[in-house]
DNA sequence: TCGGTTTCTGAAATCGGTTTCAGTATAGCA
DNA sequence: TGCTATACTGAAACCGATTTCAGAAACCGA
């Protein structure tokens, strides 16, 4: 059974395809009201809905956003995607999803091609910036035909970027630990080839140095975001600095690992060692003790990205050049048992 | 700058559009090898890649799968989506993603319409079965034009369904608790309008009754999957049955909440109370104590769904009727500290 | 050499919309 | 009443592919 087409609507309603199309396109300048009604009624009666393929073929628009994602098994990226979809569907876009398994895809060209062959109106690049997996950005061959918004990447002079202020978050954490009276504050970072990890480390260092405290490398252990690396990280720090009394673990999972090490060594948290994480994963209030952390609104991050992309698409369609921009989302410190030493 | 079309390739290579198309479609029956090469070279040289819109317009296929998802902020659904995308892209499909905010959408018709207007080749319905949010399945108006695979739903005589064997998993848990010597085994369920929750409860009851133990309602508290409902759930159970010595919390989050209540009441886990969860969320080994649970391979679940859908699509395209089928994925019990009473 | 296959290729129709351009009806005005 | 401006509407071209149908070339046995 063939689908109902605009031609059917035209025939049944007694008007031409052109008129039907004009009614459906909304911006109907010269359509008499009763004509409009008759056509809408016919559309309703026939249960007609237009073919997107035909529509984008002619109009070169598809009301589709391409999303390139990574690490969906983790909490942050899932929330971001959820936010992206939310805002996209609110504004009439549908999501074409492509996940990559390794952050350093070299098939960027092919990916962009695939997306452009489907006439996506814009692309959101939601892959963390790791090592030089953005090398292709500098290549002259990188000229996507549609606007691209990057998530979570270092400011670039000619790109649209939306990210959480990791540096600011780390400042909050470290200053908080200082305020609580910690004298010797260690750091378990993420992998240093991650931009986010470097930002958080920078925040830790700057906060310490700005009050004249030491931020030397012997107080730093590089983890890999995993719980076990947090567990081992704290062990290493303690062996180097038994006097450690404050710890900033750069994500909640590593903080959870550190809590385990502390428990095994009978270190009281927060009395002997105050611990703060980063991310505000679900249920961190139920850890023992409940975990202080930094909340980043990843859903809002996704929404923001779509909003920026929408703006860029409109500009693109009116042939304006892409206006580069970096939007930083401010995170929020959540103080819980694991770092509360003073009464407020 | 207009995109390069098949006409360009034809002109440059000196052959006709038809020939170029045949070469690109692969199943080129009657093409001389040197012709094929010349055309492929031209394609390469021009950087041509076909327009999906035009292609699907004519062929009524899009190499796109529609995915309707829910609750992406949670671990299970994210993994499933990841698995779906993995298998889809491996087999040449792209994902059109649509998330819904409430499981009981009544816009099913509109959703299907939207998907069909984009010529998806098949649909994966990855929304949990809650209350009667499948009522539309029985309506005569539900006749999608493409195959649909449902995730996580009760067996239906005329649908393709892929799900985890929740009943079997619950059997594993409860038998394990019995084997460990627990005499009084309580249950914190998920919301009873969830199919998965009912299945897990059924497993608990059957396991107990099959060995002649009591499975009355006074040993059951209905939670809502949240950590706090697990926390309160255990408190209620203990007030009714201080002799409680075994607990099956129907997901890991509620188990985590229960661990907190146990801690606050100085109940030793597992000595005084053995606890088992369900889901195998990340880092449950780091809870105190580490949590016994049931692992369900949600990534594989997603992959399976795509494979089944692929099969259904092929059958659909050769005009065969949809062969109903239910695939159950077997979960696996993971015994950790929270329920280990005997030495193995 | 000739008729009949078989192999290869191209012209043109088609998919289902949007948009241009031109034509007709109506209104407005002198 | 006549003439122009404006409001509607329709015929047809177009988007970029696939596919049918038929024609040309090459090959074959008689």
**Structural domain boundaries of chain A?**
6-50, 64-164+299-330, 166-295+333-339
Nearest Cα to B188, choosing from B154, B131, B232, B152?
Answer: B232
Which residue from B74, B82, B145 is facing A99, i.e. has the nearest CB? Answer: B82
Would you say B62 and B120 are in contact if contact means Cβ atoms under 8 Å apart?
Answer: yes
pLDDT at B267 over 90: yes
Work out the angle between the directed axes of helices A33-46 and A17-25 (0-180°, nearest 10). Answer: 90
List chain B residues with CB under 8 Å of A145. Answer: 3
Query: What is the secondary structure of B104-167 as a DSSP string?
Result: S-S-HHHHHHHHHHTT-SEEEEE---BTTTTHHHHSTT---SS-EEEES----TTSEEEEE-HH
**How far is it, in rounded angstroms, from Cα B306 to Cα B93?**
10
**CA gyration radius, chain A:** 26
Lowest mean pLDDT among A108-112, A284-288, B138-142, B277-281: B138-142
Secondary structure (3-state) at A67? strand
Find how far residue B20's CA is from the centre of its chain. 41
Q: Say yes or no for a CB contact (<8 Å) between A72 and B52.
A: no
* Residue A196 host element (H or E): helix A195-210
Label residues B205-228 b or e (16+ Cβ within 10 Å = b). bebbeeeebebeeebbbbbebbbb
Tens of pLDDT, residue by residue over A224-276, are 999 999 999 999 999 999 999 999 999 999 999 999 999 999 999 999 999 99
- Quick check: A59 CB within 7 A of strand C? yes
Q: Say yes or no for a CB contact (<8 Å) between A51 and B119.
A: yes
pLDDT at B46 over 80: yes
Tens of pLDDT, residue by residue over B295-323, are 999 999 999 999 999 999 999 988 888 99
- Quick check: B116 CB within 7 A of strand C? no
- Quick check: B21 CB within 7 A of strand D? yes
**How far is it, in rounded angstroms, from Cα B12 to Cα B150?**
48
Nearest Cα to B283, choosing from A200, A248, A258?
Answer: A258
Top residue of B24, B67, B71, B72 to mutate, by most chain A CBs within 10 Å, is B72
Domain B64-164+299-329 CATH (choose: 3.40.630.30, 3.40.50.2300, 3.40.50.970, 3.40.605.10) = 3.40.50.2300
Would you say B121 and B62 are in contact if contact means Cβ atoms under 8 Å apart?
Answer: yes
- Quick check: B5 CB within 7 A of strand C? no
Nearest Cα to A165, choosing from A177, A150, A154, A176?
Answer: A154
Give the closest nucleotide to B32 (alpha carbon vs C1'): C8
- Quote the minimal CA–CA distance from B56 to chain A in Å: 6
Which residue from A56, A64, A117 is facing B50, i.e. has the nearest CB? Answer: A117
Query: What is the number of CB-based contacts under 8 A between chain A and chain B?
Result: 135
pLDDT at A3 over 90: no
pLDDT at A81 over 90: yes
Q: What is the pLDDT of residue B1?
A: 63
Which residue from A57, A78, A96 is facing B78, i.e. has the nearest CB? Answer: A78
B6-50: CATH topology? 434 Repressor (Amino-terminal Domain) (1.10.260)
Q: What is the pLDDT of residue A250?
A: 98
Which residue from B3, B257, B263 is facing A288, i.e. has the nearest CB? Answer: B263
- Quick check: B31 CB within 7 A of strand C? yes
Q: Residue B57 CA to D25 C1' — how many Å? A: 34
Q: Say yes or no for a CB contact (<8 Å) between A119 and B51.
A: yes
Q: What is the CATH number of domain A166-295+333-339?
A: 3.40.50.2300
Beta bridge partners of A112: none
Domain B166-296+333-339 CATH (choose: 3.40.50.2300, 3.30.1330.10, 3.40.1280.10, 3.40.50.2020) = 3.40.50.2300
Which positions on chain C have an atom < 7 Å from some protein CB?
Answer: 7-20
Tens of pLDDT, residue by residue over A32-47, are 888 888 889 999 999 8
Would you say B338 and B291 are in contact if contact means Cβ atoms under 8 Å apart?
Answer: yes
- Quick check: B22 CB within 7 A of strand D? yes
What is the percent of chain A with per-residue pLDDT over 90, rounded to a whole number?
76
- Helix (H), strand (E), coil (C) string for B240-297: HCCCCCEEEECCHHHHHHHHHHHHHCCCCCCCCCEEECCECCCCHHHCCCCCEEEECC
DSSP single-letter state for residue B14: T
Asked if A6-50 and A166-295+333-339 have one fold, the answer is no
User: Phi, psi at residue A131, to the nearest 5°?
Assistant: 45, -130
Q: Say yes or no for a CB contact (<8 Å) between A52 and B260.
A: no
Closest-CA residue of B relative to A60 is B53
Q: Residue A30 CA to D9 C1' — how many Å? A: 9
- Quick check: B324 CB within 7 A of strand C? no
Q: Residue A32 CA to C27 C1' — how many Å? A: 14
Closest-CA residue of B relative to A117 is B51
- Quick check: B317 CB within 7 A of strand D? no
List chain B residues with CB under 8 Å of A287. Answer: 287
Tens of pLDDT, residue by residue over A175-219, are 999 999 999 999 999 999 999 999 999 999 999 999 999 899 999
- Quick check: A31 CB within 7 A of strand D? yes
Would you say A170 and A207 are in contact if contact means Cβ atoms under 8 Å apart?
Answer: yes
First vs last Cα of chain B: how many Å apart? 71
Tens of pLDDT, residue by residue over B216-260, are 999 999 999 999 999 999 999 999 999 999 999 999 999 999 999
List chain A residues with CB under 8 Å of B54. Answer: 53, 57
Which residue from B51, B56, B256 is facing A286, i.e. has the nearest CB? Answer: B256
Q: Residue A52 CA to D17 C1' — how many Å? A: 15
Q: Which CATH architecture has domain A64-164+299-330?
A: 3-Layer(aba) Sandwich (3.40)
């Amino acid at each position: 059974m063939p689908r109902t087409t605009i031609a059917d609507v035209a025939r049944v309603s007694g008007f031409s395809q052109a008129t039907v199309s004009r009614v459906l396109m909304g911006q109907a300048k010269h359509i008499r009201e009763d004509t409009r009604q008759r056509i809408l009624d016919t559309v309703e009666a026939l249960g007609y809905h237009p073919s997107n393929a035909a529509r984008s073929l002619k109009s070169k628009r598809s009301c589709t956003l391409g999303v390139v994602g990574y690490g969906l098994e983790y909490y942050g990226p899932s929330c971001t995607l959820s936010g992206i979809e939310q805002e996209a569907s609110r504004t009439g876009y549908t999501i074409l999803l492509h996940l990559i398994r390794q952050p350093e895809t070299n098939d960027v060209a092919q990916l962009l091609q695939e997306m452009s062959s489907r006439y996506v109106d814009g692309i959101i690049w939601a892959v963390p910036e790791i090592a030089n997996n953005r090398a292709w950005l500098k290549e002259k061959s990188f000229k996507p035909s549609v606007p691209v918004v990057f998530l979570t990447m270092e400011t670039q002079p000619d790109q649209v970027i939306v990210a959480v202020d990791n540096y600011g978050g780390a400042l909050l954490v470290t200053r908080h630990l200082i305020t609580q009276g910690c004298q010797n504050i260690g750091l378990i970072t993420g992998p240093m080839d991650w931009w986010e990890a470097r930002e958080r480390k920078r925040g830790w260092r700057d906060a310490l140095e700005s009050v004249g405290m030491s931020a030397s490398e012997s107080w730093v252990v590089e983890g890999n975001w995993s719980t076990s690396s947090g567990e081992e990280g704290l062990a290493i720090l303690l062996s180097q600095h038994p006097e450690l009394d404050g710890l900033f673990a750069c994500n909640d999972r590593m903080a959870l690992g550190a809590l385990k090490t502390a428990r095994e060594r009978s270190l009281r948290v927060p009395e002997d060692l105050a611990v703060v994480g980063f991310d505000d994963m679900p249920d961190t209030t139920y850890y023992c003790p409940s975990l202080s952390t930094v909340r980043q609104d990843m859903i809002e991050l996704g929404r923001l990205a779509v909003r920026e992309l929408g703006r860029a698409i409109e500009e693109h369609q009116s042939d304006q050049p892409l206006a580069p921009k970096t939007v930083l989302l401010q995170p929020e410190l959540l103080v819980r048992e694991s770092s509360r030493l003073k009464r407020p």
